[in-house]
Amino acid sequence: MRKSMKVLSVVLSVFMMLVSLQLPSLAQFESSAGSALLMEASTGKILYEKQADIAKAPASITKLMTLLLAFEAIEKGQAKWDELVPISEKAWKMEGSRMFLEVGTKVPYRDIVTGISVVSANDGCVALAEYLYGSEGSFVQMMNSKAEELGLTKTQFQNASGLPAEGHYMSARDIGLLTKHLLEKYPALLEIESMTQFTFSNILQYNRNPLLGRFPGADGLKTGWTDEAGYCLVGTAQQNGTRMITVVLNATSEDHRFQVAQELLNYGFKTFEFTDAVTAGDMAGTAVVEEGKEKTVSLKLDQSATVFIPVHSKAELSFELKMNSEVLTAPITPDTVVGEYIIYHRGQAQASVPVSTVHGVERAGRLELLFRRINAFFKNLFAKA
């Protein structure tokens, strides 16, 4: 017996060691970037953060807001993909990354958006801003207004491109929230962002996103660099139906930026998973019914729910039935929503689903209700005695 227990102990130790080798520890994982964030895109759940609420220079990550306004303009009918955008002298004179627009020419709106997305064209940003709102200054006002609308509390823009400017900043959390909104509203953007090269005016340029073609499922989104901001990246990838968004700010080099983004994405995909928590139609308990022919009614879950939690931790889910009122009163019809079923993981609420009655309960007759009250009276009387 003692020998069997010893063998079992060794087997369990080896098993736990293998599990610990396969799964990164939530407590031990640490990014070397100055500021970083990892988010599951569909839920917005933050899986990792480091200095996520500190406002920092975002460099060309600014262009995500520029692109959001560009796509909104299409949706509102303010612009069309094949419309021609006139190129001003200000746009032509822009420094930094460019698509080499020529002053006095007119360029299709689609090409301008592609140039901003793929080669981070600063000249394209100014041309777009002037076309949509008359000037870059007016466009920046719309950028800041949209940031406020989206609840980006650590964001302020001074230009449409992300070139260094006093009072121009974003936090990693704000960048993550902006990215989530952008991808939800305009997923077609990824068709452009995933392009590895772009040719305009016979000039071939390559997408600077280091994740494309190197990290499985990567299809966006935006890089940036200035002396003040360091090397920055908003990356996104999708594997097995799950999409991750990662934000890296203040990396020390291009290689460091790629390494951190890759580590964050790997951490997300390997450490977390969607798990079926409850199924529609499952029983959720019973509720007391006053003045009904039946004194209780069965309750059911109206929806299924999945939760995004660390792998192999489904056993740590817990549940709470929260009723709209403590007691129901007849008559009650079938499928009446009476509360919610809250799903927790390690004490943190993850999701909730509506709870409704399985069947109806008719109101009891007057005579029956009278006898119940008499019965309750004498029970109460004897209890006090």
Residues annotated as catalytic (active site), given as ranges: 60, 63, 120
**What span, in angstroms and rounded, lies between the C-alpha atoms of 256 and 263?**
10
**What span, in angstroms and rounded, lies between the C-alpha atoms of 351 and 201?**
51
**What span, in angstroms and rounded, lies between the C-alpha atoms of 342 and 350?**
8
**What span, in angstroms and rounded, lies between the C-alpha atoms of 352 and 319?**
9
**Pair 99, 87: CB distance under 8 Å:** no
Q: Which helix (H) or strand (E) holds 380?
A: helix 366-384
**What span, in angstroms and rounded, lies between the C-alpha atoms of 221 and 199?**
19
Six-digit token string for 333: 């019809």
Q: Which helix (H) or strand (E) holds 308?
A: strand 305-310
Q: Which residues, including other chains, have CB under 8 Å from residue 246's CB and lie 6 or more apart? A: 36, 37, 38, 39, 233, 234, 235, 236, 261, 264, 265, 268
Q: Are strands 317-323 and 272-278 parallel, antiparallel or unpaired?
A: unpaired
**What span, in angstroms and rounded, lies between the C-alpha atoms of 56 and 35?**
9
Q: Tell me the Cα Rg of the chain.
A: 29
Report the DSSP beta bridge partners of residue 339: 323, 355
Report the DSSP beta bridge partners of residue 85: 107
**What span, in angstroms and rounded, lies between the C-alpha atoms of 268 and 218?**
13
Q: Which residues, including other chains, have CB under 8 Å from residue 19's CB and lie 6 or more apart? A: 312
Name which of 104, 101, 97 is nearest 112 in CA terms: 101
Say which amino acid occupies 288. V
Say which amino acid occupies 312. H
**What span, in angstroms and rounded, lies between the C-alpha atoms of 222 and 175?**
11
